[in-house]
Amino acid sequence: METKEQYGEEPKSCVIANPIYDTVFKRLMENERIARFFLSTLLDENILSIKAHPQEFTYRKKTKESRTSSDDDNIGYSIYRIDFMATIETKEGEWKKILIEVQKSWDETDVIRFRNYLAEQYKIVDRINGEEIVLPITTIYILGGRLAEIESPCIKVERHYRDLVHGNAVEAKSPFVEKLTHDSYVIQAGRITDKRYGTKLNELLSLFEQAHFIREDSEVSKQYAFRSDDKEIRFITSILNEMVADPAEREEIEKEAEALRTIDALFGKTHRKQKRIIEEQEKALEEKDKALEEKDSVIGEQAKALEEQSKALEEQAKALEEQAKALKEKDKAYEEQARQLAEMRRRSNAE
């Protein structure tokens, strides 16, 4: 049920729930109007229809014991949850499957979980208008943290076809390629700032800005000071404002926040310690590699010095050899002169 729209005069700022929390984001995306606006703005596509799907899935997973046994009883079940999943129809009549994952705190280990989600979705055959069909997948990741290598708050990772034989772009698209690869969007909520660029996408991203929180010890609610003339943005802010004002809904958000704090208290300290140990080990290895490089450099310089010394000795030996040759020729000349003098004496005595 949609909340009453507030299109009249609004204050310059209002308090809204932080949409990075699963409870809040789920409430927003349950509203088809908001889901359509969110996806059409981010994907920059005209969406004709949208069909949301259940977020929880059960799949069969082999246990450790079943790896060495063929007994079906050893196959267990596992449940995983996607924050939002829907099939959309674009203006061009193309159907796509959209997966959205919201991650309040980012950790490298989440990559494995995201890959598992994708693997399971690639197995599923969808049904569109009574027909079974394999749909192309588009993923959207909303991260509360920051990726160190990328400064932009919102990026699109897209695919291009390229003819490697002739070196030109291929404009045609193949269902085979489209269904085995996918475009992806990454929103870094931690990099969204107060800078406003006057676009609909920027106004949408501003809702996820992780700043101006009401309490220093809580990120559940924040002051939203960006007034928009877009009725969809104003509709979203009205719902986020109602979630903060409603005691029951605010309690649900607080429970999620407390659960995250508890998990961080239980596992975060250990994880951070392990991460620190790994970082120290990597630093030690870097220093060791640097020391080895310096040692190699010293050895190289010593080898160069020895090579130069060897070259100098070779030159000295060559010079001595030339001197010996010169002396030998000089001795030969003396011998010739002595022979000539002896011959002259012999002739003189004979006369």
Among 35, 73, 40, which Cα is nearest to 52's? 35
Residue carrying the six token digits 């007994």 = 71
Work out whether the CA dihedral 337, 342, 347, 348 comes out positive or negative: positive
pLDDT at 76 over 60: no
Instruction: Provide the pLDDT for residue 7.
Output: 38
- Give the rounded distance of the alpha carbon of 226 from its chain centre: 29
Whole-model pTM over 0.75: no
| Lookup: tokens for 291 | 């020391």
Q: How far is CA 217 from CA 122, 131, 254, 257, 264, in A?
A: 41, 51, 12, 11, 14
Whether residue 105 contacts residue 272, with contact meaning beta carbons closer than 8 Å, is answered with no
31-65, pLDDT tens digit by residue?
999 999 999 999 999 998 888 876 655 545 554 44
Average pLDDT for residues 81-92, to the nearest whole number?
Answer: 83
Long-range contacts of 67-75 (CB under 8 A, 24+ apart): none
312-340, pLDDT tens digit by residue?
999 998 988 888 888 888 888 888 888 88
Average pLDDT for the chain: 82
- CB 224: neighbour CB atoms within 10 A? 20
203-246, pLDDT tens digit by residue?
999 999 988 888 877 888 999 887 788 899 999 999 999 999 98
Whether residue 63 contacts residue 74, with contact meaning beta carbons closer than 8 Å, is answered with yes
Average pLDDT for residues 59-88, to the nearest whole number?
Answer: 57
105-148, pLDDT tens digit by residue?
666 667 777 888 788 888 888 888 888 989 999 999 999 888 88
Whether residue 241 contacts residue 221, with contact meaning beta carbons closer than 8 Å, is answered with no
DSSP H stretches of helix in 136-268: 175-180, 200-206, 231-245, 247-263
Q: How far is CA 350 from CA 198, 338, 343, 346, in A?
A: 127, 18, 11, 6
256-305, pLDDT tens digit by residue?
888 877 766 666 556 556 667 767 788 888 888 888 888 888 898 899 99
